[in-house]
Amino acid sequence: MQPEFIVINKPANLDFHHTADQISLVDLVRIQTGLTELFTVHRLDKMTSGILLLARSSESARYFSQLFAEHRIQKYYLALSDKKPSKKQGWVKGGMEKGRNGSWKLVRDGGLSAVTQFFSYGLGEGQRLFVLKPLSGRTHQLRVAMKSLGSPILGDERYAGTAADRGYLHAYAIEFIFANQHYQYIAPPNSGDLFQTPQLLNTLTQLGHPSELAWPK
């Protein structure tokens, strides 16, 4: 029996959609794997690397879409910033509204509800690692959440991040139950000089799987 899904580690700076410079990410995966039946169930921004699920049938795509809608898929991201946050751990809650030139902003009242939990860890030399757990799936949610903390993501110049060799946001881990079976995946970042430092790698080793952290209630 064939698996109902595949998990890939998306490279940074690869567009999800078809552009003038590249075919769509899903078409690239089809070419690389020889699988013609692939369906998208969630997306990652162009700058974001990491774990991406692709369903292998329309039936499993519908099931995954239901899991996402019911918040029964847990996703965990890594981000780096060179700015100190307003708080070291907790929640970012608000409404997401469209701003200018394709950007989004967080507002107190109105907008699309967006909720993110996070922890942060000092890495030395002014850098800080964030482990982010989005409880909703809004466009640019984590990038806007980081900016609202006063810690825009390194390389994310759209949201006031310091210029870097890439945007330092990575879909690190995912956990879900599919057809009564528990699945848990981790994909460490494999690009970006600042994602490969001994301090960061040692911190990730100490953390273990992010689902085991004592997430704020």
Task: Provide CB contacts within 8 A for 82, sequence distance 6+.
Answer: 126, 127, 128, 154, 162
Query: Is residue 82 annotated as a catalytic residue, yes or no?
Result: no
Catalytic residue among 27, 45, 156, 165: 45
| Eight-class DSSP state of 211 | G
Greater model confidence, 20 or 140: 140
DSSP 136-195: S--TTHHHHHHHHTT-PPTT-GGGTPPP-SS--EEEEEEEEEETTEEEEEE----S-GGG
Cβ atoms within 10 Å of 46's Cβ, excluding its own: 14
pLDDT band, very low/low/confident/very high, at 1 (cuts 50, 70, 90):
very low
Do 169 and 156 contact (CB within 8 A), yes or no?
yes
Kindly report, residue by residue over 57-103, the tens digit of the pLDDT: 999 999 999 999 898 999 999 999 999 999 999 999 999 999 888 89
Superfamily for the 5-212 domain: Pseudouridine synthase (3.30.2350.10)
Confidence at 2, pLDDT banded by 50, 70, 90: low
Whole-structure pTM over 0.85, yes or no? yes
User: What are the structure tokens assigned to 105, written together?
Assistant: 């902003």
Residue labelled with tokens 């960061």: 200
- Which helix (H) or strand (E) segment holds residue 53: the answer is strand 49-55
What pLDDT, in 10s, does the model give residues 91-139?
A: 999 999 998 888 999 998 888 899 999 999 999 999 999 999 999 889 8
Predicted local distance difference test score (pLDDT) of residue 187: 94
pLDDT reading at 159 higher than 90:
yes
Domain ranges of the chain: 5-212
